[in-house]
Chain A
Amino acid sequence: MTNKIPHNNLLLMTDVYKAYGEKVVLDNIDLSVAAGELCTVVGPSGCGKSTLLRLILGQERATRGEIYVDGNPVGYPDPQRGIVYQKYSLFPHLSVLENVMLGKNFTTGLPDRILHRKRIQEEAVYYLEKVDLAEHYQKYPHELSGGMQQRVAIAQALIMKPRIILMDEPFGALDPGTRERMQVFVLQLWEEFDMTVFFVTHDLEEAVYLGTRILVLSQYYSDGRDEETCSRGAKIVADYPLARRAESTMVKATSEFGDLIQTIRREGFDPDYRQHVTDFDLKHPDAFQTLTEEEMRPNHVAANTDRHSKTE
């Protein structure tokens, strides 16, 4: 199944491979994400979720394939793409306010930086208010709790108005209560600022709750390639549009929510459940695949039965 490629979207990846030496991590990834989407990515640990994010960020280079943001091929990291990491997002030697002002200071010429210091400061305070931290502006990162640090990191990225904000397990180190508050909070900011977010997490519940679209990245699938000769990496095995719902966390208790999580767990996280590449659950209208002829062939039966008879 080869859909029409949605060329006009904010983010476009075609035929992207990433390999470290012999080991293939990402295997022929095709992805297109529209502006305004809150796209979450889940998958088993080590499947390459963070690698995918780093490719979009420009922190790493794809081995093969094209990546475009706003129609331009991605280069090294720049203000077009913002990033919030799980840790190390803040600069420990700067106060909260200075951390948020930093981007503006980097990009403002020296004379303007001095003349408009007040304005830059006010802008930073505005974003700090948005993340409920205005009263902590003088503190240093080590004086803040984990959740507060991540809120500063989000404000720090937001002030640059990036086309897309990438988040790499931003709440992975937080306790469950804080984590849930942060989720609600991201949804509010996303709505208010019309952000486009690419959100990597290993927490299925978080991904389904937050996303307007969920991608499942997994190495558990099958295709027509010969297992003996080919090293496989992860592919997007499922791609669902999610309804934009009320922000209440109550939704997590509904049965639909639980069912979807069960389906995704089976499709992406079960090593014994291997869908063929042509049967992937790619429901989102922007989903497309550019499979090679070899991949589209039925499973490499001979090799498979061979192996089974050996093990039995």
Chain B
Amino acid sequence: MGKIPRFWGVHAEPTKLLRLILALLPFAVIVTAYLIASHVRLEANPSDKLTPSVSKMVEAVGEMALTKDKRTGRYLMLADTLSSLRRIVIGLGAAAIVGLFLGMTMGLFPGMNSTLHPVVRFLSIIPPLAILPILFIVFGVGEVGKIVLIFIGSLFVITRDIHEETRQLPREQIVKALTLGASQFQVLWQVVLPQIMPRLLITVRLCLGGAWLFLIASEAIASTDGLGYRIFLVRRYLAMDIIIPYVLWITLIGLLMDTALRLVVNWKYRWYVASQ
């Protein structure tokens, strides 16, 4: 055996420092490429709007985040963020709660499964964006329509995942609980629910991406505030100096939500992490 390979091949064992450098490398490449492109284009045409310089973006963010809007008297970026967060939290939260109970009852009770499984499967295939017009017609273009879109877009994925997870609980556990005198309700509440909770958080994590998609789409089409609304509004003026920071901001919020959910699972459900 020769030297341990650090990078190439299936036997590679990158050191801690190397791993950090490797992780940062693609980011550095992207940022550098952008800076060069921006520099070259602005050199040729100082009023170019497609690749604004960093200072231009900082200036734009300052305007959006730190100065009150003259018309509404609000800090626009904060107001946009809060509106969007409210929609996504209510929509995804409601989907998580309803999906949890639908999935658990379907997984535990064969009668419920026979009744609900085909219809849930059918509904889950409908592309949520295809029914967006229906939602806007039925619920109007206010808050309800957008929240319902996020709710419907996430509900069936969550339901199916929880259903599958519940079915995979060993049958032995349910029988064991019954021999310990549990009622069927206690089996659901004290045996199934606590074991499904970490899985629910993980499913919600995976649904975040879809939820953001539905949020931005509905805000783009009909809204008066929100992160998606703002991006599509300033698109008319080719305001890349606002769009790019907003996209980065959305990504950062998404990353924080994802990390928060992961930390909750690791902290509250150590037994789950250990048994995976």
Contact = CB atoms under 8 A, between A and B. Distances in A.
B229 to A, nearest CB: 42
Nearest to A102: B180
A103 B180 contact: yes
Nearest to A143: B274
A81 interface: yes
Nearest to B198: A93
B170 A88 contact: yes
Interface in A38-85: 57, 59, 76-79, 81-83, 85
Interface string A86-129: 01110111000000001100110000000000000000000000
Most buried by A among B170, B181, B190, B191: B181
Interface stretch (B8-16, B171-179, B219-227, B233-241): B171-179
Contacts of A59: 171, 175
- Looking at chain B's contact residues, is the secondary structure mostly helix, strand, loop, or mixed? helix
B195 A92 contact: yes
Nearest to A162: B179
B178 A77 contact: yes
B5 interface: no
Given A92-B275, A142-B274, A78 B178 contact: yes
B64 interface: no
Given A82-B179, A83-B176, A140 B270 contact: yes
Query: Size band of the B side of the interface?
Result: 20 to 34
A88 B181 contact: no
Contacts of B275: 92, 142
B271 A57 contact: no
B181 A103 contact: yes
B186 A106 contact: yes
A296 interface: no
B272 interface: yes
A148 to B, nearest CB: 15
Query: Size band of the A side of the interface?
Result: 20 to 34
A157 interface: yes
Contacts of A162: 179
B179 A57 contact: yes
B173 A88 contact: yes
B175 A57 contact: yes
A106 B179 CA distance: 10
Contact of A106 (B172, B180, B271, B272): B180
A107 B177 CA distance: 11
A141 interface: yes
A112 to B, nearest CB: 14
Contacts of B195: 91-93
A103 to B, nearest CB: 4
A79 B181 contact: yes
Contact of B179 (A83, A87, A88, A141): A83
A93 B179 contact: no
Nearest to A141: B271
A79 B179 contact: yes
A32 interface: no
A156 interface: yes
B194 interface: yes
Contacts of B177: 91, 102, 106
A107 B186 CA distance: 10
Given A79-B181, A89-B172, A157-B180, 8 more contacts: A79-B179, A91-B173, A93-B195, A102-B180, A102-B190, A106-B182, A142-B275, A162-B179
The list of the 10 closest CB pairs from A to B, nearest first, reads A103-B180, A107-B181, A88-B172, A77-B178, A88-B170, A79-B181, A106-B181, A106-B182, A142-B274, A93-B194
6 contacts: A78-B178, A78-B179, A93-B269, A103-B181, A106-B177, A140-B274
